[in-house]
Amino acid sequence: NALSTNGMIALQLGSILDKDVMRQKPDLINLFVKVGFKSIHDYTEKYNLSDSWNIVILLKDRNDRVNWYANIPITNVLIHKRIYQTKSSSAALRHFDGATMKGFQVPPKFLENEYCMRDPRPSECGKNEIKKRVDAPLSSFVVQNSTIGEGSGRGLFAKVDIKTGSTIGLKESLFPVYLPAITWDLINTYYEKFNETDARKFYNYVEGYGWESDWSGNIPSAFVEPNFLTYVNHGCNGSNNVDYSEMYEIKMQMKPDLTEQNTEPSDFGLLATKSIIYSPYRDRHVFHEEVKSDIVVKDIVAGEEVFSDYLFYTTENQAEFYKEAQHLKGLCNGEEVGLVTQKELSHQD
């Protein structure tokens, strides 16, 4: 199976207490990356009271992440479909089900520490340092009609002065609304086939206020901000006063004057994200990573509307990136309205 295009290897490295095993592990993983494995995960499994095995799962096809990150009910359904029934009708698997698999999806803290202590240090590990910034809590903001113009809907406004470098609502934004890939795919299918009111309302909520992510493979999962930070609008013509820290730094270094008005398809290369093949840090903090902690990039005074930069919210591919940039340009020039406003104006939902 490991030799096929969607091959998989389950590799038992040895005891987590074996220092030689843990020291050689980075070289081993790098070797598998070089020969073409696209997604690597590891977990631990106890074999006695004082020790555990470190087991590494290697996937040749990144799209198999959909099943790796499936939720408990879906994993149980997949097991039911693939496992033959025993003649005695007893359980075919004694020590494995959806709940067990769920535990494997989030590696223990010490595997994250071991990964982040490597030299050179993986870039994503430094993102924890954002927690050291001054945070403006949600109580510092209020939702009102946006100042963008007629048909722009609601916006988020500061109730107090907020200094450059601060984070906004960091502590209250760690756990977004999350729809696993297979769940979101089923919702899309149900919506397209039946278009019932309840399905349409929920679909419009996710489409209007959330975003899709390919972190789980070829079928996108979906996320929505867990609070009213979802009302932060796009800042036209570079007028945004908050931005995702990593995006902002790269943009300022490479093309500081980039806005929706002058975007070209080639600009996708500025921030095209490279797929992470192996990262216990990412596996443990995926929700935090998806929400992305915005930082204030220009002083905000009390009463001022908060604007972000939507330009690189779509990183699926170059075509989708440019299509979204042109949509933002149309919104900023008053030629189009957003999805939420469309639905409200049509009185559908």
- Per-residue pLDDT of the chain (349 residues), as tens digits, is 667 888 899 999 999 999 998 899 999 999 999 999 999 999 999 888 889 999 999 999 988 999 999 889 989 999 988 888 888 888 788 889 999 999 999 999 999 999 999 888 888 886 656 667 899 999 999 999 888 876 667 899 999 999 999 999 888 888 899 998 888 888 888 888 877 677 788 888 898 888 888 888 878 889 998 898 989 999 999 999 998 877 777 788 888 899 999 999 988 877 655 678 999 998 998 888 787 778 899 999 999 999 999 887 776 678 888 998 998 998 888 887 766 666 665 655 4
pLDDT of residue 218: 78
CB-based contacts of 131-136 (< 8 A; 24+ apart in sequence): 131/170, 133/165, 133/166, 133/167, 133/170, 133/295, 134/163, 134/165, 134/166, 134/167, 135/166, 135/167, 135/168, 135/169, 135/170, 135/171, 136/160, 136/162, 136/166, 136/167, 136/168, 136/169, 136/296
pLDDT of residue 29: 94
pLDDT of residue 272: 57
The beta strand positions in 97-213, using DSSP E, are 135-136, 141-145, 154-158, 167-168, 177-179, 210-213
- pTM score: 0.81
Find the DSSP H helices in 135-244: 181-194, 197-209
Picking from 111, 121, 133, 102, the residue whose alpha carbon sits closest to that of residue 53 is 111
**Which residue bears the tokens 């206020």?**
209
pLDDT of residue 12: 93
85 is written with which tokens? 């029934």
Distance CA 94, CA 104 (A): 17
pLDDT of residue 340: 64
Picking from 269, 252, 247, 289, the residue whose alpha carbon sits closest to that of residue 125 is 289
pLDDT of residue 11: 93
62 is written with which tokens? 């990144």
pLDDT of residue 349: 47
pLDDT of residue 161: 97
Distance CA 62, CA 181 (A): 13
Distance CA 330, CA 338 (A): 10
pLDDT of residue 90: 83
Picking from 307, 340, 310, 306, the residue whose alpha carbon sits closest to that of residue 141 is 306
Inter-residue contact 262 to 100 (CB < 8 Å): no
198 is written with which tokens? 């309840």
